[in-house]
Amino acid sequence: MIGKKNIVPASFGLVILMAFIHNGDTIGQALQLTMSLSSRPLLYPTLTCSIDFDFITTGEVEMLSISGPRPYSKKGDLEVLASISKWDPTPLPLNGLDDTVANVTGFFSGWKKELVISWKLPIFRLSQEYRCTAQSTDMNGQPVTTFETITVNTEASDVDDARDADDFNLLRDRVDDLIANSSLEAKEDFHAIENQVRDLESSFNLRFQDAESQFDKQREFMNSSSETVQNLDEALQDISEKLLDLQQSVTQQQQTNKDQAVFNSFLKARLPFDFSTIFKSKIYFISKTVADFEISDAAASCEAYGGYLVEIDDEEELKFVSDFVSQTGKDVRYYTGANDLNMEAYFEFYHSKKPVPSFLSVWNEGEPNSMVRGEDCTEILGKLNDVTCGLPGKYVCESQ
């Protein structure tokens, strides 16, 4: 059964939509979609898609998903934003949804299954549609797809007020991040400039003290000569002005280095990759966005930034890349360039076409095993593990 409701910004705090899976005349599983409103109506919605087994079941629910417009997209097309399934009970954000935009939570076990998206950023659309979808099989083993759609209508004045406040907060947070995340090299340069300033200050004090001492001696020696004293005063004034100019130059250089550090951090935040340190004249970088893995597209993206899909040549390189992957995050899949797309069970690297090392220390125990038909790609899961291509994940590149 497919149902649809419209919500307008009234005094409602909670709206619940129910959909039921039918098999003949028997009532099946109950599909429940819940929309919670925030203090500013419908700008920061919480979407809850859940299965409740209070009724007689007629089959097995295999997956829940929530669909809506892609974050930051000007279009209103429905795309899957998050999903959870019996195969992967960890809630999975998709299509540009990440923890900067919304929190994705949920569970898929026992008698209740739930998927929740809580928006952190306001949704600046006057009319917005979302869909909760359950995929299941009936008692005859046939696939059944059930969904419920909800439309959120927001007052234009609420959107304008929230957009003004949110733009200011985003700008302020972005500036704070740029300052806080300046590179180590810029910090070292800043400390070096500080040391230079201290040295200059020390030199200035010594030279000034020496000049004062010389001045006193000259004044005592030539007390009768006002012209000599005046010349000495002018000389000291000239020295002071030059030292002041020098201090101003150092201050300007400090500001230039700070601005460069902020710019470097600003640039790094906009690159689509997270970068490693240098290892044996190589650098590795991991895509920031989780997307369905297409090996040719991933290879082209690596090449656009001067690299290629990672190729594991020995145990030492495997350990470095595995540690880098662990530091980046453990909740997603990390694809490599190893594959057997050209010939089953013959794994080679996508870029160099060299065979993947077959010794056991590079592969996980029992791998590659092609446990699921079509496991033609590989991921780093501590060691190498063959896996199906096209699943959501990130990919690892390397560059000389």
Look up the CATH number of the domain holding residue 151: 2.60.40.10
Query: Which of 231, 251, 270 is where one domain is finished?
Result: 270
- CB contact at 8 A, 127 and 101: no
Which of 113-117, 202-206, 348-352 comes out lowest in average pLDDT? Answer: 202-206
Domain shared by 20 and 133, yes or no: yes
Q: Which of 205, 64, 236, 220 is nearest to 133 (CA)?
A: 64
User: Is 165 inside a domain boundary?
Assistant: no
d(CA 252, CA 227): 37
Shared domain check, 118 and 215 = no
Question: What's the burial of 15, exposed, middle or buried (CB within 10 Å: 0-12/13-18/19+)?
Answer: middle
pLDDT above 60 (res 2): no
Give the percent of the chain with pLDDT over 90: 29
Residue 124 has pLDDT above 80, yes or no: no
Q: Is residue 177 part of a domain?
A: no
According to DSSP, the β-strands at 392-399 and 291-292 are antiparallel
Residue 67 lies in a domain: yes
The answer to whether residue 180 scores a pLDDT higher than 60 is no
133 and 259 both lie in a single domain? no
Pairing mode, strands 308-309 and 92-93:
unpaired
On whether residue 252 sits in a domain, the answer given is yes
- The Cα diameter of the chain in Å comes to 123
More confident residue, 35 or 260: 260
Tell me, yes or no, whether 114 lies in a domain.
yes
Q: Could you report the per-residue pLDDT of 10-57, keeping only the tens digit for each?
A: 333 344 444 443 333 333 444 554 555 444 455 677 888 887 654 434
* Residues forming a β-bridge with 399: 283
pLDDT grade for 185, boundaries at 50, 70 and 90: low
**Residue 220 and residue 284 in one domain:** no
CA distance 329 to 334: 10
Give yes or no for residue 225 having a pLDDT over 80: no
Lowest mean pLDDT across 21-30, 82-91, 335-344: 21-30
Band the pLDDT of 75: cuts 50, 70, 90: confident
d(CA 387, CA 335): 9
With cut-offs at 50, 70 and 90, classify the pLDDT of residue 263: very low
| Same domain, yes or no: 250 and 360 | no
Domain-located, residue 216: yes
The answer on pLDDT for 69 being more than 70 is yes
* Lowest-confidence region among 115-119, 143-147, 264-268, 338-342: 264-268
Tell the residue number behind the tokens 């909740």, with chain if given.
Answer: 331
**155, 301: one domain:** no
* Alpha-carbon distances, residue 181 vs 164, 185, 234, 262 (angstroms): 26, 11, 47, 8
The answer to whether the predicted template modeling score (pTM) of the entire model surpasses 0.95 is no
Q: Identify the CATH number of the domain in which residue 353 sits.
A: 3.10.100.10
pLDDT at 98 over 90: no
* Distance of alpha carbon 86 from alpha carbon 143, whole angstroms: 15
Based on the fold, state whether residues 228 and 100 are members of the same structural domain. Answer: no
Domain count, the chain: 3
pLDDT at residue 184 is higher than 90: no
Mean of the pLDDT values across residues 311-325? 94
What is the b/e burial string over 144-162, where b = at least 16 CB atoms within 10 angstroms of the residue's CB? bebbbbbebebeeebbeeb
Confidence of residue 175 (pLDDT cuts 50, 70, 90): very low
Of the two residues 218 and 347, the one the predictor is more confident about is: 347
Q: Which domain holds residue 203?
A: 184-270
User: Is 11 part of a structural domain of the chain?
Assistant: yes
Half-sphere exposure of 192 (CA within 13 A, CB side): 9
Examine residue 171 and state whether it is found in any structural domain, yes or no: no
Mean pLDDT of the chain: 77
Q: What is the pLDDT of residue 25?
A: 34
How large is the C-alpha radius of gyration of the chain? 32
3-class secondary structure, 149: strand
Residues written for the chain? 400
Whether residue 339 sits in one domain with residue 210: no
* Banded model confidence at residue 59, pLDDT cuts 50, 70, 90: low
Domain boundary residue, one of 144, 160, 176: 160
Hey, what are 170's tokens? 């985003």
Task: Identify whether residues 12 and 151 lie together within a single domain.
Answer: yes
Give pLDDT tens digits for 283-306. 999 999 999 999 999 999 999 999
Three-state secondary structure along 216-272?
HHHHHHCCCCHHHHHHHHHHHHHHHHHHHHHHHHHHHHHHHHHHHHHHHHHHHHHCC
